[in-house]
Amino acid sequence: MKVTIVTANGETVLNAATGSNLLSLLQSNAFFVDADCGGRGTCGKCKVKLLEGNTSAPLDEGGFFNCCKHTVDGDITIDLNDNTAGAFSAATAIAPHRIKARQGYGLAVDIGTTSIAVYLVDLSNGKPLDSAAQLNRQISFGADVISRINASSGDGLTLMQQSVRTQISAMSEELLRKHNIKEFEKTIIAGNNTMLHLYLGKDPSGMGQAQAVIFSSLNENQIYEEARKLILEMLRKEIPKLPPS
């Protein structure tokens, strides 16, 4: 079956198996859909507009339906342009991290459950020069930490890790481009424990239990190793630092 998705960037045609869930299909192909309840059909946020084809999900007067309630059973064309929450206003500044004065620029990243903020920092004085913030696209998997933990089973963990890494890379590359800077000398990534687990691709399910097992408390060398791998994809000079959350 063909699922055609219209966004501001044009049309994308996906081949979908009969019986696929439309929200899952969009998530696994990196389309952002606001889905606070993680696809349980209770939040009403995952509306997309039907342009062509049919849906068994209830249609509202404007021709919108909740994509988590649609099972692919025929060709369909949808418009995603109205399911964008837009840019989030700049988050509060990250508390200054102790750094030695040096020449060059640093990147500070704050992974919030709701929003992600990136800061360009002048390493000579530790002051932020610019920042940007966006809604955390993992919202497609649930609005809160518990929903994300629940969504991390199966492919969810990989998909959420890809989501946050891709988003941070795009946001930081934009800072580099905007300021005509070649690279960051230092990178610091902060977030709550769940966000850091998802960033590292580590199973966060232990944190949903009474005796939480937290990856970051297990082995500092493991964290170092994980961060070392990330440097390869993030093209930073130094290994990103993940301060304790």
19 vs 58, beta carbon nearer ligand FES: 58
Strand boundaries in the chain, DSSP class E: 2-7, 10-15, 47-52, 64-66, 76-79, 105-111, 115-122, 127-135, 186-191
Return d(Cα 59, Cα 36) in angstroms, integer.
19
Pair 42, 27: CB distance under 8 Å: no
21 binds ligand FES (CB under 6 A): no
**Cα dihedral angle (202, 205, 210, 213), rounded to 10 degrees?**
-20
Q: Which of 41, 104, 201, 243 touches ligand FES by CB under 6 A?
A: 41
CA distance linking residue 21 with residue 18, whole number of Å: 9
Q: Number of residues in contact with ligand FES, rule: CB under 6 A?
A: 12
Name the one range near ligand FES by CB under 6 A: 31-39, 54-62, 86-94, 118-126: 31-39
Nearest-10 crossing angle of helices 156-178, 220-234: 60
* Under rule CB under 6 A, residue 94 binds ligand FES: no
CB of 4 to ligand FES, least distance (A): 20
Taking CB under 6 A as the criterion, the residue among 3, 16, 39, 198 binding ligand FES is 39
Q: Which amino acid is at 177?
A: R
Nearest in space to 162 (alpha carbons), one of 32, 66, 20? 32
Binding segment for ligand FES among 37-45, 80-88, 121-129, 194-202 (CB under 6 A)? 37-45
- Closest separation between CB of residue 39 and ligand FES, Å? 5
Stretch that binds ligand FES, among 44-52, 118-126, 172-180, 203-211 (CB under 6 A): 44-52
Could you say whether residue 84 binds ligand FES (CB under 6 A)?
Answer: no
Separation of alpha carbons 62 and 26, rounded Å:
21
**Sheet of strand 115-122, all strands in order from the earlier edge strand to the far edge:** 127-135, 115-122, 105-111, 186-191
When binding is defined by CB under 6 A, the residue of 16, 22, 46, 94 that contacts ligand FES is 46
Question: Taking CB under 6 A as the rule, does residue 25 contact ligand FES?
Answer: no
Residue 170 Cβ vs ligand FES, minimum distance, rounded to whole Å: 24
Binding residues (CB under 6 A) for ligand FES: these are 35-37, 39, 41-46, 66, 68
